[in-house]
Amino acid sequence: MAATWVLAAAAALALWAAAAEGARSPAARVHRHLKRLNKPAVKSIESPDGDIIDCVHLSHQPAFDHPLLKNHTLQMRPAYHPEGLYDDDKRSVASDNAGEKPMLQLWHQKGRCPEGTVPIRRTKKDDLLRASSLRRYGRKRHTAVNPLSIDPNMLNEGGHQHAIAYVEGDKYYGAKATINVWEPKIQQPNEFSLSQLWILGGSFGEDLNSIEAGWQVSPDLYGDNNTRLFTYWTSDAYQATGCYNILCSGFIQINSEIAMGASIFPISNIAGSQYDISILIWKDPKEGNWWMQFGREYVLGYWPSFLFSYLADSASMVEWGGEVVNSEPDGTHTSTQMGSGRFPEEGFGKASYFKNIQVVDSSNQLKAPKGVGTYTEQSNCYDVQNGNNGDWGTYFYYGGPGKNSNCP
């Protein structure tokens, strides 16, 4: 009898050990991570590009996994919008001969999410397997560019290159831009191309705070070459905090119409129709949270102010423009495109642009930025040219093809 008990105990112990080992296996870790990211859906919509958009109840979104958000009272609208928000819209509607068309996301062709839910792009197993590690999935590997401390000996530091306009030297409480949308070609899967605005606070050391939003093409992150709406945030220079979209807790979405990370449709084409998106990020002067609006109609959600140190007060720099990863395949500059892949001097219909760029001042007013600077590491690869007129306000053209006869 004792021998039987010993054998049974040994068998049970072996089963427990096997189960424990299985729980530590890569497949089990991937499964657990998917369960954390993909919340129970009220409704699911299959997009024409293969994405699954899950309509998740507002209170079940990933933001509320954050320990400081467990008892957070959800804000369904900002207390204040910036003053002067629609002044430039009236001007551009009257004067823009391009016939700017309303933007949609591709999944809208197959349905919409009901009120009281938020649309979340479902993370798939292949998305996780493309990442360098589960811990780094959905996170950037670099810091924002500091145009004020240019070291000519480090033109391709970290493999990232930029063509940006920027302002600094004041306190900023938000920024806005209308961004021309393209689908740049990416040479290597581990490279990306994006166009965005950055709201920055702190130094460019380990304490950098950043809120970012725009469009990007990132085969590693999404598994395709589609142009997608994205956001990012960090409070420690991309080390341990923050992520793209809502792949971690932090950003709280309130809108049922627009999905972070979903494909933008349609896209501009050379000498053809031009399509833009408008993005506004501002600090609500009453509650102190940072809000994001997409277009005229869609207030998407907010980053609670307690996520940040410096941005809990204000930003010290705002940047707008493009960024690419240059992994120097075969020892030469990448041919990954920025913007449309054309240089700024080619102008409207060919080069990509930002127009009506503005900042929010301490009195919650949208203003044209003063003292706009420009920066690029290698203007023969990617360049930027800024200007100002009555139709577009403060604007710039930017981008380029990367590798060419003048960019070896």
pLDDT tens figures, 4-25: 555 555 555 555 544 444 556 7
Q: What is the mean pLDDT of residues 315-338?
A: 94
Residues contacting residue 259 through CB under 8 Å, at least 6 positions apart: 53, 105, 107, 119, 120, 121, 229
Give the model confidence (pLDDT) of 262-285 as tens digits.
999 999 999 899 999 999 999 999
DSSP-assigned states of every residue in 9-56: HHHHHHHHHHHHHHHHSHHHHHHHHHHHHSPPEEEEEE-TTS-EEEEE
Q: At what angle do helices 26-37 and 2-24 cross, to 10 degrees?
A: 60
Residue 215, pLDDT > 90, answer yes
What is the rounded CA–CA span in Å between residue 34 and residue 52? 14
What is the rounded CA–CA span in Å between residue 175 and residue 168? 12
Q: Are 290 and 282 in contact (CB under 8 A)?
A: yes
Question: What pLDDT is attached to residue 156?
Answer: 55
Question: What pLDDT is attached to residue 347?
Answer: 97
Q: Is 177 exposed, middle or buried (0-12, 13-18, 19+ CB in 10 A)?
A: buried
Question: Could you give the C-alpha distances from 108 to 45, 179, 217, 354, in angstroms and in order?
Answer: 9, 21, 20, 25
Question: What pLDDT is attached to residue 369?
Answer: 97
Q: Is 89 exposed, middle or buried (0-12, 13-18, 19+ CB in 10 A)?
A: middle
Question: What pLDDT is attached to residue 99?
Answer: 42
Residues contacting residue 306 through CB under 8 Å, at least 6 positions apart: 68, 312
What is the rounded CA–CA span in Å between residue 367 and residue 362? 11
196 strand-pairing partners: 214, 321
Residue 144, pLDDT > 70, answer yes
Secondary element (H or E) of residue 357: strand 352-360
Q: What is the mean pLDDT of residues 369-395?
A: 96
Chain Cα centroid distance, residue 196: 7
Residues with a catalytic annotation lie at 212, 323
**β-pair type (117-121, 160-172):** unpaired
3-class DSSP assignment, residue 128: helix
* Higher per-residue confidence, 132 vs 401: 401
What is the rounded CA–CA span in Å between residue 383 and residue 342? 9
Give the model confidence (pLDDT) of 50-103 as tens digits.
999 999 999 888 888 877 777 788 899 999 999 887 655 443 333 343 444 455
Question: What pLDDT is attached to residue 157?
Answer: 57
Instruction: Tell me which residue of 194, 173, 232 sits closest to 369, measured CA to CA.
Output: 173
3-class DSSP assignment, residue 278: strand
Give the model confidence (pLDDT) of 152-196 as tens digits.
455 555 689 999 999 999 999 999 999 999 999 999 999 999 999
Residue 206 pLDDT level (bands cut at 50, 70, 90):
confident
CA atoms within 13 A on the CB side of 298: 18
Residue 329 pLDDT level (bands cut at 50, 70, 90):
confident
Residue 135 pLDDT level (bands cut at 50, 70, 90):
confident
Give the model confidence (pLDDT) of 280-303 as tens digits.
999 999 999 999 999 988 999 999
Question: What pLDDT is attached to residue 249?
Answer: 87
How many percent of the chain have pLDDT more than 70?
Answer: 87
Question: What pLDDT is attached to residue 100?
Answer: 43
**β-pair type (117-121, 366-367):** unpaired
Mean pLDDT of the chain: 88
Question: What pLDDT is attached to residue 205?
Answer: 83
Residue 266's identity, in one-letter code, is P
Question: Could you give the C-alpha distances from 157 to 88, 151, 161, 327, 387, in angstroms and in order?
Answer: 37, 9, 8, 10, 29
Residue 218 pLDDT level (bands cut at 50, 70, 90):
very high
Give me 119's structure tokens.
Answer: 């649309």
Residue 142 pLDDT level (bands cut at 50, 70, 90):
confident
What's the order of all strands across the beta sheet hosting 117-121?
Answer: 41-46, 52-57, 117-121
Question: What pLDDT is attached to residue 151?
Answer: 60
